[in-house]
Amino acid sequence: MNAHPRNSLLHAGLRRLESVPVIGPLLASVSGMERATLAILGFVATAFYVFVKVADEVLEGATGQLDRGILLALRNPTDPSDPIGPPWLEEAMRDFTALGGTSVLTLLTILVAVFLIMTRKRHAAWLVLLSVAGGTALSQILKWGFDRPRPDLVPHGMAVYSQSFPSGHAMLSAVVYLTLGALLARTQARTRVKVFFLGSAAALTVIVGISRIYLGVHWPTDVLGGWALGAAWACSCWLLMLWLQRRGEVEGESAMPAYDDADRQPSQARK
């Protein structure tokens, strides 16, 4: 088989850094696992910083003009109750926003956990469940702490029941979809397949967040904060899983067999 762990996007990006005069020698002195850890920690730190920065601006009330401008730009100037675009677009946005709803994400998480248990990965299943449950609890605690009112500038496109910042839909869709996307990507050796899984997970997260703004149920900074914190949480949990797998305390991901297009049979290594 020609597959090699360095074909991943992460390792491809790190190889480019090796050409940098100062960074290259430093990277050469650490193992692949250490490189991955450093890269993920860097992303987590950046995402947490973005969240803290947005939260600070929200508390100071400095985002009001930007939030209002974006919400009004998505509405008919003569009728704020009418979102821009044809009627089918508003209906589609309601469908998209349901992808980040508690019921849908809970059902999806349970199905994935059951699948992991069926494939004898009980510890991995528990880690997925705990990561999603922890992200949900963190989202609710922050909502109560910030206690930001929902937008009252335009009529809401659907019913809402909780505080506004950070957006629970944006945060939890990032937690669930990015976590599952990363798990699926680790079952594949080909870079383009990894890109597909991770790109699809990111696209779903973005679509859910945009739908919340379009429907007028969240300020744009609510969604931005939810995205940042959700991505940071998902990557932190993913890093924990990698560390536990390295210690043998969580089952590793099983690689799927590659298939030849001609006979649809698992490829065999050729001499």
Two structure tokens written together for 19? 């050409």
In a 10 Å sphere around its CB, with 0-12 CB exposed, 13-18 middle and 19+ buried, how is residue 4 labelled?
exposed
Q: pLDDT tier at 27 (50, 70, 90 boundaries)? A: very low
Of residues 82 and 155, which shows the higher confidence score?
82
pLDDT at residue 166, as a whole number: 94
Residue 211 has pLDDT above 80, yes or no: yes
How do residues 239-269 score in pLDDT, each as one tens digit?
Answer: 888 888 777 777 765 544 444 444 445 544 4
Question: How much of the chain, in percent, has pLDDT values that exceed 90?
Answer: 50
Q: What contacts 157, CB < 8 A, 6 or more positions away? A: 83, 90, 93, 94, 214, 215, 216, 217
Exposure string over 101-110, b if 16+ CB within 10 A, otherwise e: eeebbeeebe
Mean pLDDT across the chain, nearest whole number?
Answer: 82
In a 10 Å sphere around its CB, with 0-12 CB exposed, 13-18 middle and 19+ buried, how is residue 80 labelled?
middle
Question: How much is the pTM?
Answer: 0.79
Q: What is the mean pLDDT of residues 170-176?
A: 94
Of residues 140 and 6, which shows the higher confidence score?
140
pLDDT at residue 189, as a whole number: 74
Residue given tokens 């508003």 in the structure block = 90
How far is Cα 127 from Cα 238, in angstroms, rounded to an integer?
Answer: 9
Q: What is the mean pLDDT of residues 161-169?
A: 89
Active site residues: 169, 218
How far is Cα 191 from Cα 199, in angstroms, rounded to an integer?
Answer: 12
pLDDT at residue 74, as a whole number: 93
pLDDT at residue 251, as a whole number: 72
Q: Where are the domains of the chain?
A: 33-69+102-149+161-247
